Amino acid sequence: MKTYHKIAVIGGGGRTGKYLVDQLLDRGFQIKLLLRNPEISNQNLPLPNPAIQVVEGDVLNYEAVYALIEGCDAVISTVGQRKDEPLVASQATANILKAMSETAESENAAKRYILVAGLNVDTPFDKKGAETLVATEWMKTNFPVIHEDRQKAYEVLQKSDADWTLVRVPYIVFTDELSEIGVSLEDAPGQKISAASIAGFLIDQLSDENYIRKAPFIANI
């Protein structure tokens, strides 16, 4: 199994991303962090830090994504849709996969891509229960364009040859609480999950091959 040292992080300036950055540092990883506004993000992140290299740019800009991923072993993304801004899910995924492909011959090429999505993303392997179906239909009804974009991101992943894992999460509670996590490839095992639990699960996927090219649901149980 590959050993990972430097991780490209997208969405690290966001609410869930902060927990991811903190835990990566606690586990001794080097981080390459994509930030649109470093001067603002510095207020929420442990910067400056010798273990963090900041790349200023937007995940929707391919050149910025390439600069981020070059020299990294893996990519972890917690980026979400921004209010009143261009759709991000499918374009971000396309940019990341393209950069991974174009840096594939480098010494520390990133082969692993781990990202977060909502319960509303559908896969052919789902057996969603009543509560998950309600959440899915709510998203489809109220935010149809965003839903379609997130579904498109999953389809882009399926067509790639990357070692991806799409982690589907329910309502996020922004706490440091770490409690037991349930995992299922068919249905959400619970209704909530802490941001700290999400971060821990994402990092664990660097050493877990069970969910490569799969889209597990996770929740605190």
pLDDT at 46: 78
Position 41 pLDDT exceeds 70: no
Domains of the chain, with CATH numbers?
6-220 (3.40.50.720)
Burial of residue 47 (CB within 10 Å: 0-12, 13-18, 19+) is: middle
- Please give the Cα distance from 41 to 33 (Å, whole number): 11
pLDDT at 107: 64
DSSP string, 67-135: HHHTT-SEEEE---PPTTS---HHHHHHHHHHHHHHTTTSTT---EEEEEEETT---TT----HHHHHH
pLDDT band at 151 (very low <50, low <70, confident <90, very high): very high
pLDDT at 72: 93
pLDDT band at 106 (very low <50, low <70, confident <90, very high): low
Return the ∠ at Cα 89 (arms to 84 and 94), rounded to 5°: 130
Position 98 pLDDT exceeds 70: yes
Mean pLDDT confidence for 18-30: 96
Mean pLDDT confidence for 22-31: 96
- Strands in 217-220's sheet, in edge-to-edge order, are 52-56, 30-35, 6-10, 74-77, 112-118, 163-169, 217-220, 181-184
pLDDT at 105: 73
Position 42 pLDDT exceeds 80: no
- Please give the Cα distance from 168 to 25 (Å, whole number): 24
